[in-house]
Chain A
Amino acid sequence: SQTIHQWPATLVQPVGSPLSLECTVEGTSNPNLYWYRQAAGRGLQLLFYSVGIGQISSEVPQNLSASRPQDRQFILSSKKLLLSDSGFYLCAWMGSPYNEQFFGPGTRLTVL
């Protein structure tokens, strides 16, 4: 069966520090991968998606970036965090255009 992992689970970082969040999927190949951010009490905002290794599409301009160095690995990064980057970051995968998206457990990021 397929599983999706995210780490770390929680992170507290100072403003201006770098960020690296990792997402890995097991039990599937060539999945579509997505990064979402959820601000407190809000909905899910799509940040990036990837349909294959090295293929990244950005949905909103920001100081974040994403990379997909391997088929089942998706990384969210920042060189300098802002206070507004605080939130709940969710990675998701989809194996087929006709299936649902499955979400990872999320990373709660607090920028101080």
Chain B
Amino acid sequence: GENVEQHPSTLSVQEGDSAVIKCTYSDSASNYFPWYKQELGKRPQLIIDIRSNVGEKKDQRIAVTLNKTAKHFSLHITETQPEDSAVYFCAASIRDYTNAGKSTFGDGTTLTVKP
């Protein structure tokens, strides 16, 4: 089955700096890669996703890059703010009409943005 590894497990940055979280996956058939943000005690919420036919996607201060050949994808947060502090999860899944849409998640990265 799919295996997703996420690094680093903890990340501390100064407000205004950039943060980068990296994930690798093992199943070359995976074609959908979402990133979730989870605040303490809350549900994970999607912040950005990317599909395998795209190499990069941006949404304001957040961007995700995908390298299918190397089977890795990364989350980039620029101009970090204290409210960006949370646990971030990457995931990989195969999305098509023959698949149940199961997602394999990384273990998470705890991001702390210091004011």
By a beta-carbon cutoff of 8 Å, the part of chain A in contact with chain B is 32, 34, 41-46, 49, 51, 57, 59, 90, 94, 97-98, 100-106, 108
Contact = CB atoms under 8 A, between A and B. Distances in A.
The 10 nearest A-B residue pairs measured at CB: A43-B107, A103-B43, A44-B105, A43-B105, A100-B46, A97-B95, A94-B101, A43-B108, A103-B44, A51-B100
Nearest to B97: A97
Describe B's contact surface by its main secondary structure.
loop
B43 A42 contact: no
A4 to B, nearest CB: 9
B44 A44 contact: yes
A90 B43 contact: yes
A106 B99 CA distance: 25
Given A43-B108, A97-B95, A98-B95, A32 B100 contact: yes
Contacts of A105: 42-43
Interface residues of B, number: 24
25 contacts: A32-B100, A34-B102, A41-B108, A42-B108, A43-B6, A43-B105, A43-B106, A43-B108, A46-B102, A46-B103, A46-B104, A49-B100, A90-B43, A94-B101, A97-B95, A97-B99, A97-B101, A100-B49, A101-B34, A101-B103, A103-B43, A103-B44, A104-B43, A105-B43, A106-B42
A103 B107 contact: no
Nearest to B96: A97
Contacts of B107: 42-43
Nearest to A101: B103
Contacts of A44: 44, 89, 105
B45 interface: yes
B103 to A, nearest CB: 6
A103 to B, nearest CB: 4
Nearest to A102: B46
Q: Most chain-B Cβ atoms within 10 A of its Cβ — which of A57, A102, A103, A108? A: A103
Contacts of B46: 100-102
Contacts of A49: 100-102
Q: Most chain-B Cβ atoms within 10 A of its Cβ — which of A51, A59, A94? A: A94
